[in-house]
Amino acid sequence: MVTEAERLGVELISIAAVAENGVVGEDGELPWPSLPADKRQYRARVADSPVALGRRTFDAMRADLPGSAQIVLSRTERDYDVDTAYHAESVDEAVEIAESLGSDRLYVLGGGAIYALFQPHLDRMVLSRVPGEYEGDTVYPDYDEREWRLAETTDYEGFTLEEWVRPD
């Protein structure tokens, strides 16, 4: 089966900060102390591209929305009162919207169900590995490392940035 992303040539990139136990969030927030260098690299990376996220993640970020456009995946269409926000019900629809905006990439920002929905379709993952285990209600989905290649690792104070690519 050819996905809409493959047909349209939109690269799907998951971006997340992940604790050693897979936790990425707690009640819509990061469960570890602030990592300013991580926020800077993340914001710079997604600044000029559309991002895909779930409704609760969108609502949690509403005061400081990332990306050039926000594609909100939700089973229920709603008005988001934000000019740059679009509604999608599926991965294919999110990809179609990104393509209609003239983008060749779409960053996936979560939450957990959105990461899991996109996981089989991803081309890349950019993961900030946060040392330690944290309590949380949202985890990054499991993936088979044999299907991925670790392309780059960069050490920062408080975390390590890993870029994973899915070989062709």
Indicate if the pLDDT at residue 157 is higher than 80: yes
Write down the residue that tokens 């927030």 correspond to: 29
Write down the residue that tokens 């294919």 correspond to: 92
Indicate if the pLDDT at residue 89 is higher than 80: yes
Domains, in order of start, for the chain: 7-165 (3.40.430.10)
Q: Is 134 exposed, middle or buried (0-12, 13-18, 19+ CB in 10 A)?
A: middle
Question: Judging by DSSP bridges, how do beta strands 50-54 and 23-25 pair with one another?
Answer: unpaired
User: What is the tens place of the pLDDT at every residue in 29-68?
Assistant: 899 999 999 999 999 999 999 999 999 999 999 889 999 9
What average pLDDT does the segment 125-152 reach?
A: 96
Contact of 73 with 52, CB cutoff 8 Å: yes
Q: What's the Rg (C-alpha) of the chain?
A: 15
pLDDT value of position 8: 57
**Prediction pTM value:** 0.92
Write down the residue that tokens 């102390």 correspond to: 33
pLDDT value of position 52: 98
pLDDT value of position 1: 42
What average pLDDT does the segment 125-134 reach?
A: 98
